[in-house]
Structure 1
Amino acid sequence: MKYSPGLHILAEFSSSNIGLLSKSSHCKQLFNSLITSHQLEKVGEVYHDFENGGFTAVVCLTESHISIHTWPEYELATFDVFLSNYKRDNSKKVEEIYSEVLNFFEGIERQKSAINR
């Protein structure tokens, strides 16, 4: 049996919802909700709000990570999520998390790469 490490989605999206792109507090609530609803385990997190707006966030999971970087002045964000398949196939969860993040930010996908590792 061959092991497949998992699905990794890297994406860029635009959003005119500047309020959500400017500060990390709503995103933190979203990420915590996604982690709970998808039965993932958080092992660390960093959220940083920039003085002129925008934020960066990285959440480390036992399964791997979720990250986002925003530029409200350009109505732009980059996002990535990777979950390993160590104990089970998490590919569906990766797709669902990506979709939920895009919907939350009212995002329009500009680029998306889905890499099966």
Structure 2
Amino acid sequence: MENQSYPLGKTSLVPVGSHCILELYECPKDLLNNLVFIRDSLQEAARLAGATLLKEITHQFNPYGVTALALLAESHISIHTWPEIGYIAVDIFTCGQHSEPEKACKFLIEIFNARNHVLLKFPRGRLTPQLQELGESFLLEAPSYC
């Protein structure tokens, strides 16, 4: 494979990107059922992450709840809301070194007025991530490889 961007046999050590799992709790219920607000928030999150938005899709559930998906050149962002319990599940996966999904997560925590949250971040394409507590959030990190 002449065009490989990493050494042959070392594929498990190559970081391909970052994956953030964000859980937002105790959010105002009216925001979680507002499709336009959620769509606009999704677009801004992609911009703040430094990602390239290719396409988005949103769906309003009856009687309540919204799912919004952003297809990014770097991968994806998804937002799923449960207004009846004030909960939002967010998934942000960005490939490459230029994207900053943590900025998108911080923005979503603020814009949805989450009173509590859990953030898990881990590298994709590496082995053996380790969980580290960071205040109210958790960060998954893999050991550094030389």
Alpha carbons 1:21, 1:72 under 8 Å: kept: yes
Matches within 5 A, 1:102-117: 102-117=109-124
In structure 1, the partner of 2:17 is 6
Mapped to 2, the partners of 1:77 and 1:50 lie a distance apart of: 14
Change (3 A) 1:45 1:106: same
Mapped to 1, the partners of 2:88 and 2:50 lie a distance apart of: 25
Mapped to 2, the partners of 1:89 and 1:36 lie a distance apart of: 12
* Gap runs ≥5 in structure 1: none
Matches within 5 A, 1:33-52: 33-52=44-63
Alpha carbons 2:33, 2:65 under 8 Å: kept: yes
User: Is it true that 1:100 corresponds to 2:111 in the alignment?
Assistant: no
Q: With the length of structure 2 as denominator, give the TM-score of the two structures.
A: 0.69
**How many residue pairs were aligned?**
113
Q: Deviations over 1:29-88 (max 9, x none)?
A: 122233344442222211001111110111110001111100010111101111101xx3
Letter in 2 for 1:99: K
Tell me the secondary structure at the aligned position of residue 18 of structure 1: coil
Matches within 5 A, 1:13-92: 13-85=24-96, 88-90=97-99
Give the RMSD, CA atoms, in angstroms.
Answer: 1.8
TM-superposed CA distance for 1:19, in Å, is 1.2
% identity of equivalent residues:
25
* Gap runs ≥5 in structure 2: 1-5, 7-12, 125-146
Mapped to 1, the partners of 2:108 and 2:117 lie a distance apart of: 14
Q: With the length of structure 1 as denominator, give the TM-score of the two structures.
A: 0.84
